Chain A
């Protein structure tokens, strides 16, 4: 199996007067683990159906391996789709499920069952072929769906939030397993999720979507450290958002008057105009307890997450969330604390839509 590249070229999809996808252009490299991350209703499933062929673009082109896919149905594309609910065939045995794509291609029974068994071995399900999908556990069913999709030797495997039905432990285990299968097979994976943790841990690159548009494409650490828009900044990871007015601006640096005083931080792209509204973004793990009078407030809540405490600090109407390492003295609720942050850890972005607006 070998993955190929997928290219979306200025694609629009409209349903009636609802624009599901607006001018999306994407390039997915061959053999890449590419995630599409966004809240529900952002158009990511439509994007997946576009690539798999269940949906034709209203405008623009979908290219797989350089070939234009216009007018080619899902059964004639080099893609395989893993559905959110897996859509295994409940009346067929696990083996027949895996062999179904080969059956559709007219491969003789003996050969296709042998290949199904080999694929079941790849996903660590040897000897389970005779069972019905209903007799397997959630994680095993998951692996059957992967084997069934891989059986048709797709160049691109499309996954529509396939882990969302699993419990947390199994989900974490399956993340590693998916990644391993992707490496072993070299197939291009396009993975849809609304769970940023899933996207960050598995992906080579991520596209963040909102309201039918791609907000930003980048490697996980890029998205986390250098979000291009307030939406990306707040959707990927947690964020403290302070709103204010730009007081001074220089390339790569700006000062913003916020309810907690004037804060100086770095800017993402260019210099914002003085007097314009801007967000100051601070990651909770970048805030630390200090003795200075940087950002002062009262602890209103304290939750133990295990390795760290989540401190909710209130100052006037502003609430800050800080992740404080679980070591030493942790302030009790009601205590007055001061929080410090480096200017390099404060990102200034022009005002815009945030994920938790």
Chain B
């Protein structure tokens, strides 16, 4: 803190401090705490309550009729008191109905149905698989880009990688949809060579498979794998590769012993980023599978919020996904043998 003050002076330090504080408090802490709070309580909608209210209203109307017909002042006073008491009861009951009492507890976390639990586990495993496939696909690309023989070739490769990302993610997903659709590009190609018949509805149902989802997710998130790996590879002294080769190592051994150990922090960052993006992906499964390829857990969360209108359960689902994903991230960091400090470098 003192160093920042010395380096930037008072006013600028204040700006920096305010912005960092704003970021941490408003953009990170408050939404998370709000979600955690939502996930920890529920309001039971009480059906008996509306019956009780109806009964109280009926009773009040009756009492009013009786009051109007009553001539005895002593009885009239008694009925007036009864009416006031009834009105108070009605107000209390109505208040209880419009905002039922919150019950705090872990009930939202223990209510997951077996089907939802299955989708939860499958989403996590699929996201891990997407990260693994992306790593296998992106490592050679990152290597080629980092060790391009001429700066020109590196620039061309990078531009080719970046251009698709200038397009909106949704558009890219729709483009893949056109490719994989029943009457899409791939099936048309298959039809052209006689492998499919669009008239007879004989086609490959790509969209109903996990493979299509994997392909699109890898393509949509590939850059988040390529760049961190490329960045770490660019810091590798090419002489180390030459030295290993000079000492007789095969290409495989050079990668296993020299290049990959060096790129490990980048690989960890890439795998973690792609895993988190894939686990929380909503648009890709929503657009692509259209209910034919099985749900992604994020779709369940969406439905709890906007269709079942149960924000408490939705929050609990979202928070569970966050906690499990973070646990997996830390497990991966331990498996990769990298610390948080190495990753943020």
Contacts and interface: CB of A to CB of B under 8 A. Distances in A.
The CB with the most chain B CB atoms within 10 A, among A52, A74, A75, is that of: A75
A148 B240 CA distance: 13
Contact of A52 (B237, B246, B248): B246
Given A75-B250, A91-B262, A104-B253, A83 B245 contact: no
Contacts of B243: 81, 83, 87-89
B242 interface: yes
Contacts of A89: 240, 243-244, 257-258
A73 interface: yes
Main DSSP-derived SS at the B contact region: helix
Contacts of A53: 246
B242 A148 contact: no
Contact of B240 (A76, A80, A87, A151): A87
Interface size class for chain B?
10 to 19
B246 A75 contact: yes
B250 A104 contact: yes
Contacts of A40: none
B170 to A, nearest CB: 42
B252 to A, nearest CB: 10
A100 B239 CA distance: 15
B248 to A, nearest CB: 4
B249 interface: yes
Contacts of B250: 75, 104
A104 B246 contact: no
B245 A75 contact: yes
The CB with the most chain B CB atoms within 10 A, among A52, A76, A79, A101, is that of: A101
B249 A75 contact: yes
Contacts of A184: none
Interface residues of A, number: 26
Contacts of B163: none
B247 interface: yes
Interface in B210-244: 237, 239-240, 242-244
A105 interface: yes
Nearest to B237: A87
Given A83-B239, A104-B253, A91 B261 contact: yes
A74 B257 contact: no
A353 B280 CA distance: 70
B339 to A, nearest CB: 15
Given A87-B237, A91-B262, A100 B247 contact: yes
The CB with the most chain A CB atoms within 10 A, among B243, B257, B258, is that of: B243
The CB with the most chain A CB atoms within 10 A, among B242, B245, B248, B262, is that of: B248
A274 B282 CA distance: 92
A58 interface: no
Given A89-B258, A91-B262, A100-B257, A74 B249 contact: no
A103 B253 CA distance: 9
Contacts of A101: 247-249
Contacts of A87: 237, 239-240, 242-243
Given A91-B262, A104-B253, A85 B245 contact: no
B242 A104 contact: no
Given A89-B258, A100-B257, A83 B242 contact: yes
The CB with the most chain B CB atoms within 10 A, among A53, A89, A148, is that of: A89
Contacts of B249: 75, 100-101, 103-104
Interface string B259-292: 0011000000000000000000000000000000
Interface of A: 52-54, 73-76, 79-81, 83, 85, 87-89, 91-92, 100-101, 103-105, 148-149, 151-152
Given A75-B245, A75-B246, A85-B237, 17 more contacts: A52-B246, A53-B246, A54-B246, A74-B245, A74-B246, A80-B247, A83-B239, A87-B239, A88-B243, A100-B244, A100-B247, A101-B249, A103-B249, A104-B247, A104-B250, A148-B247, A152-B247
